[in-house]
């Protein structure tokens, strides 16, 4: 019988605190010949620094990314850099962004001195009217940073009031985020996460801060050593997800994706959809958390990162950087903006190719959740007598899902959905 290398557990790279005994183990294994290695990653670049995405997308989809290069690969998958750019062009953009982040952070520090101090707050610093709360712990923290210099009250505009009202909530979320990881035992790493989220909340004041963002930002802090690089990588991820965090009095931002999930389930599993509607779950709000934090609760830390990079590789579009830079002032001028760039099918993610071919724009996360529902369909139909039962059955998945199988199932469901929708169109026509 041939011996097979079981691979290195991903958890070895993200050590867990000894007292955290209830943390699910990662099923993701780093395997030679399957996982994107540093050697294969470097070989995908030309001498000038142009990246051939066709050499890495399939490898990521099949075996993930080695943790030693994960951060820099993510920067490309999320559209921080154009794969057709040179090493020098990317360095120029990186330096520009680092300066911009430095400026943003300096503005925030001027408004509240604990930004960048290595400390953070978990108590409110102002009231909704803009008055300081005079919390003794906050006052003591500020004194340790600026001495006895008094903090003067002054009229604040709505943007500043809204921003300052979020700072303590960010702090409360930071101390709850990935606390099982040894990395976040250090105060400096918690403060770094708080700084990045606080600056982002000021930078994107239209969305600000919402619960769940700390779960999305935490991996960036771990994977990218430079705080500015982590900030812009998180900002790119938020380009994909910021719509989820837009809320009004009458609707939640994630509502459009929940509507898509309902539509997909109705097509691929009409019996289950009818049952959920009967239980009062036709709005699919029970799937809210999965969409908001990209399955961070359903998978171990290592497996959730593996899942993310598989999703991004499957959805990858080489125009991502160009589209983002055209609508953003976050980077410098695009290198060779007017130069035509080759775009072959191999440079486009497998899932995205199917979408483009069929004129669809549904995100893969919708099909990941639809696949979870399909896998649990028999149990939901037999045992769910109310929404509490639905939530309980889905919560039983936490830590027990396989990221690779989940992606494969989502791809199959996507094909099935597109085929059935096309057949319905043909019948109607």
Is residue 353 located within the same domain as residue 423? Answer: yes
Task: Assess whether 206 and 352 both reside in one domain.
Answer: no
Same domain? For 291 and 357 the reply is: yes
Is pLDDT above 70 for 194? yes
Q: Are 417 and 367 in contact (CB under 8 A)?
A: yes
pLDDT > 80? residue 345: no
Domain contains 55: no
Regarding whether 120 and 257 lie in a shared domain, the answer is no
Q: Is residue 125 part of a domain?
A: yes
Confirm whether 45 is domain-assigned.
no
Q: Is 70 exceeded by the pLDDT of residue 252? A: no
* pLDDT over 60 at 185, yes or no: yes
Residue 198 domain flag: yes
pLDDT at 275: 97
pLDDT more than 70, % of the chain:
91
Average pLDDT over residues 170-178: 97
At 333 the pLDDT is: 39
Query: Helix (H, G, I), strand (E, B), or coil: what is residue 51?
Result: strand
CATH of the domain at 391: 1.10.472.80
What is the value of pTM for the model shown? 0.92
DSSP, residue by residue, 297-341: TTS-HHHHHHHHHHHHHHH--TTHHHHHHHT-SSS-PPTTTTS--
Is the same domain home to 92 and 162? yes
In this structure, the answer to whether residues 256 and 197 fall within a common structural domain is: no
| Domain shared by 408 and 336, yes or no | yes
pLDDT higher for 165 or 342?
165
Asked if residue 225 and residue 353 are part of one domain, the reply reads no
Q: Is residue 53 part of a domain?
A: no
Half-sphere CA count of 416, side-chain side, radius 13 A: 16
Q: What is the pLDDT of residue 339?
A: 45
Distance of alpha carbon 137 from the chain centroid? 32
Residue 1 lies in a domain: no
pLDDT (0 to 100) of residue 336: 43
Supply the pLDDT for residue 6: 59
23 is a domain residue? no
We report the CATH number of the domain holding residue 99 as 1.10.8.270
The predicted pLDDT at position 329 comes to: 46
Confidence of residue 248 (pLDDT cuts 50, 70, 90): low
Number of domains in the chain: 2
Boundary-marking domain end, from 193, 223, 244 = 244
- Output the pLDDT for position 338: 41
% of the chain exceeding 90 in pLDDT: 69
State pLDDT tens for residues 374-413.
999 999 999 999 999 999 999 888 778 889 999 999 999 9
Q: What is the pLDDT of residue 425?
A: 54
The answer to whether residues 233 and 258 belong to one domain is no
The span from the first CA to the last CA of the chain, in angstroms, equals 56
Asked if residue 415 has pLDDT above 50, the reply is: yes
247-264 average pLDDT score: 81
Which residues on neighbouring strands pair with residue 30, listed in sequence order? Answer: 8
Nearest to 185 by CA among 19, 299, 9: 19
Domain-embedded: residue 56: no
Residues 207 and 160 in one domain: yes
pLDDT higher than 60, residue 1: no
For residue 332, give Cα distances in angstroms to 97, 227, 231, 238, 341. Answer: 8, 18, 16, 19, 19
Range 111-127 average pLDDT: 95
Task: Tell me which of 155 and 164 has the higher pLDDT.
Answer: 164
Per-residue confidence (pLDDT) for residue 160, from 0 to 100: 96
Residue-averaged pLDDT of the chain: 89
Q: In the predicted model, is pLDDT for residue 165 greater than 70?
A: yes
Are 237 and 273 in the same domain? no
The larger pLDDT score, comparing residue 1 to residue 169, is at 169
Q: Does residue 160 share a domain with residue 122?
A: yes
Range of the domain at 152: 69-244
pLDDT digits (tens, 9 = 90+) for 19-73: 988 888 888 889 888 999 999 999 999 999 999 999 999 999 999 999 999 999 9
Burial per residue of 67-105, b for 16 or more beta-carbon CB atoms within 10 angstroms, e otherwise:
bebbbbbbbbbbbbbbbbbbeebbebbbeebbebbeebb
pLDDT at 81: 96
Tokens of 368: 């990941």
Strand partners, 215: none
| pLDDT of amino acid 4 | 47
Predicted confidence band of residue 251 (pLDDT cuts 50, 70, 90):
low
């Amino acid at each position: 019988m041939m011996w097979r290398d079981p691979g290195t557990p991903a958890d070895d790279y993200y050590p867990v605190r000894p007292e955290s005994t209830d943390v699910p183990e990662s099923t993701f294994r780093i395997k030679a010949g399957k996982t994107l290695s540093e050697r294969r990653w470097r070989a995908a670049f030309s001498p000038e620094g142009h990246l051939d995405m066709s050499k890495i997308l399939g490898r990521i989809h099949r075996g993930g990314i080695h943790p030693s290069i994960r951060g820099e690969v993510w920067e490309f998958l999320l559209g921080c850099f154009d794969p057709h750019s040179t090493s020098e062009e990317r360095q120029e953009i990186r330096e520009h962004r680092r300066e911009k982040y430095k400026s943003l952070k300096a503005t925030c520090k001027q408004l509240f001195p604990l930004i960048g101090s290595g400390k953070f707050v978990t108590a409110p610093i102002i009231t909704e009217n803009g008055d300081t709360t005079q919390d003794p712990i906050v006052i003591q923290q500020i004194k340790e940073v600026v001495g006895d210099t008094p903090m003067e009250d002054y009229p604040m505009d709505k943007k500043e009031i809204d921003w300052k009202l979020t700072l303590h909530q960010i702090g409360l979320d930071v101390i709850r985020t990935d606390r099982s990881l040894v990395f976040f035992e250090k105060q400096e790493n918690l403060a770094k996460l708080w700084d990045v989220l606080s600056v982002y909340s000021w930078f994107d004041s239209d969305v600000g801060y919402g619960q769940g963002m700390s779960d999305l930002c935490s991996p960036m802090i771990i994977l990218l050593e430079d705080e500015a690089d982590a900030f812009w990588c998180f900002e790119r991820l938020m380009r994909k997800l910021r719509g989820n965090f837009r809320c009004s009095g009458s609707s939640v931002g994630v509502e459009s994706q929940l509507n898509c999930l309902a539509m997909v389930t109705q097509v691929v599993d009409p019996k289950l959809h009818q049952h959920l509607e009967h239980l009062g779950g036709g709005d699919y709000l029970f799937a809210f958390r999965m969409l908001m934090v990209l399955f961070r609760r359903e998978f171990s830390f290592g497996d959730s990162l593996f899942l993310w990079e598989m999703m991004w590789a499957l959805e990858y579009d080489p125009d991502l950087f160009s589209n983002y830079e055209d609508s953003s002032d976050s980077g410098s001028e695009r290198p060779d903006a007017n130069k035509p760039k080759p775009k072959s099918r191999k440079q486009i993610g497998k899932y995205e190719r199917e979408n483009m071919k069929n004129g669809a724009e549904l995100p893969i996360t919708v099909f990941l959740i639809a696949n979870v529902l399909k896998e649990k369909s028999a149990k939901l139909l037999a045992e769910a007598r109310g929404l509490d039962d639905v939530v309980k059955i889905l919560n039983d998945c936490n830590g027990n899902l396989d990221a690779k199988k989940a992606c494969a199932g989502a791809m199959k469901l996507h094909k099935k959905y597109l085929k059935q929708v096309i057949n319905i169109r043909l019948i109607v026509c």
